Structure 1
């Protein structure tokens, strides 16, 4: 009995730390049944988000025999930890298939991205994989790729449920509804439904980011009518110099902000510390599952949760699966990248391979699907 009571006390303490420390613990706007319903709904949603996803290998036919001698070009709008990790996966998968691999960088601007795509087409690319680039900023080279029969696979261009853009073969991406609600539900959970959220978003011109922001605000309002959301759009080409100032201005304009949702992990070092200069108790959720961010969660830093992808090189192999499917003549379809909520309750250590045990050896699973083993 003594051990039971001791364990119960620990669980109560952990629960209190997870649901109350980012806010005041009592809602100044909703109370009674509305407050209880909000807390229960947010808690249930967070529990489900923490579950380990099953390994996902698309069923679409992708024949490894069509790959040898073909070339795949990678064009990233931005070079950061996520895109670098994904590119590493693409390179490894291409090597396993006997494909040529080339990489170009869009340097954060539409002009550079268009030039990089044109370079890949001029060099005779058989397939192109892009990240952060869609037809809204690169319609001319993508139209040329379509006319030349070059398959273009985009990563994180639009919502997974959006129709496939006619200029691309498929988009490997996430569900805006899933991520937007996850951001809102976790923020409500952490603040005990006493939330004033600072939403640090990618530009609204990026369709996926725009939709995630709308869903986040809608979910907050649905569960907590008195809670508030304030949004700023980061300048992705000038994160290091611009974002700290943007966050500081938002925090000073809205001093009640007690939690942040940040668009992607690489932006956290520029957003989180500046926010805590204004309010030392502010913490945040972000997305991608980069190692430094997961370590921050483990160490109790400004980031306390992450909507994490699997090991990021898995996304690269998933992209090459779509390349093979295109070269095999299989109709294109968007692919949803699996995600898992990581926080203090389930992090244990910051290695994605341990946080995604079902993804151990995913490379062999792809090779089997491609007929290589």
Structure 2
């Protein structure tokens, strides 16, 4: 099916779990549902193996909160710091301080300094989660999701789409999703793609950016948005309030609960690429178990699925992966 990345399963075995560890989890921002979901999943998994775990709110890096949270963990003399959707470049100095303090650092849903658009060639996290056997880095995983978004547009339009793509610039995840989407749209002879940009600074102007693009391109009938938070920040409202609402379809990001509500009610979003962010959080703790034992990360089995009114849309609640990954990890950890 267009827009699907096959799921695997979590690793069947893991080394013995180290005892009595303190884990500090840096959320990308507890006000954002996706960040909250991943951070709380990592905390639940850490506590499942008997470790103490605490979440520090990265507040979407307002006032340099990412670095501040990492340094709070160092000051608390924790054994490990797990960061969620935070790129190495944003916490480069604190990561060096954590290394000097012999604190293990794990990255999930973010980019180490040796990957992504801002790569410096230097790996600073102790380890990063390996999403799957096929997608060995978060960069590869996000590129595949970007391509899946393009495949859905091509499939649902019959290969004749006039698309406005929103590119989240200045971010590694935005660059990877954009690259994947552009590659996915190649070879579609009857498709046109206009790219408009949004940054952290213009995030609050997302609605105006999409409204302006729709006015300038009255032939556009598809809108591709890389992250569900950008849909909620105004892209969905722009489509729902458009005079051409009936003709314009929008595909968003992760399949967060509010966005699934928009799809169910046909209120400015038509589809998403469902990603199990909670699975990513459990995978971070599995990666940490292995790092404490001196072993490399194991592929996590992550996949993704298209969600629209025809496929994979739950009647209520959030998107759930079609694999009982929590039970699988518990078995691997000997619980």
Q: TM-score, normalised by structure 1?
A: 0.75
Q: 1:326 aligns with which of 291, 296, 303?
A: 291
After TM superposition, list the pairs within 5 Å mapping 1:119-134 onto structure 2: 119-134=72-87
Question: Corresponding residue for 2:70?
Answer: 117
Q: Check if 1:69 corresponds to 2:27.
A: no
Question: Corresponding residue for 2:175?
Answer: 210
Residue ranges of structure 1 left out of the alignment (5+ in a row): 1-46
Max Rg structure: 1
Question: Corresponding residue for 1:166?
Answer: 123
| Contact persistence 2:2–2:151 (CA under 8 A) | no
Judging changes above 3 Å, is the alpha-carbon distance between structure 1 residues 103 and 368 closer, same or farther for their aligned structure 2 residues?
A: same
After TM superposition, list the pairs within 5 Å mapping 1:109-258 onto structure 2: 109=61, 111-158=64-111, 162=115, 166-168=123-125, 169-171=127-129, 173=138, 175-203=141-169, 205-224=170-189, 227-235=192-200, 239=203, 241-258=204-221
Question: Corresponding residue for 2:264?
Answer: 298
Judging changes above 3 Å, is the alpha-carbon distance between structure 1 residues 50 and 334 closer, same or farther for their aligned structure 2 residues?
A: closer
Query: What is the Cα deviation at residue 226 of structure 1?
Result: 5.0
Question: Corresponding residue for 2:135?
Answer: none
Mapped to 2, the partners of 1:50 and 1:113 lie a distance apart of 32
Note the alpha carbon deviations across 1:330-370, whole angstroms, 9 max, x for none. Answer: 124675632111222223524578853432xx322211101
Mapped to 2, the partners of 1:179 and 1:147 lie a distance apart of 36
Q: Check if 1:58 corresponds to 2:58.
A: no
| Contact persistence 1:60–1:325 (CA under 8 A) | no
| Contact persistence 2:79–2:104 (CA under 8 A) | yes
Question: Corresponding residue for 2:327?
Answer: 364
RMSD, matched Cα: 2.8
Query: What is the Cα deviation at residue 247 of structure 1?
Result: 2.0
| Contact persistence 2:10–2:301 (CA under 8 A) | no
Judging changes above 3 Å, is the alpha-carbon distance between structure 1 residues 217 and 231 closer, same or farther for their aligned structure 2 residues?
A: farther
Q: Which has the higher helix share?
A: 1
| Contact persistence 1:134–1:157 (CA under 8 A) | yes
Question: Corresponding residue for 2:44?
Answer: 92
Q: 1:344 aligns with which of 305, 309, 315?
A: 309
Judging changes above 3 Å, is the alpha-carbon distance between structure 1 residues 284 and 63 closer, same or farther for their aligned structure 2 residues?
A: farther
**SS in structure 2 of the partner of residue 193 of structure 1:** coil
Note the alpha carbon deviations across 1:85-144, whole angstroms, 9 max, x for none. Answer: 112211211221111111112222372211111111111121112122122221101122
Mapped to 2, the partners of 1:62 and 1:201 lie a distance apart of 41
Mapped to 2, the partners of 1:195 and 1:352 lie a distance apart of 31
Query: What is the Cα deviation at residue 271 of structure 1?
Result: 0.9
Mapped to 2, the partners of 1:52 and 1:295 lie a distance apart of 25
Mapped to 2, the partners of 1:318 and 1:229 lie a distance apart of 36
Residue ranges of structure 2 left out of the alignment (5+ in a row): 132-137
Mapped to 2, the partners of 1:287 and 1:132 lie a distance apart of 14
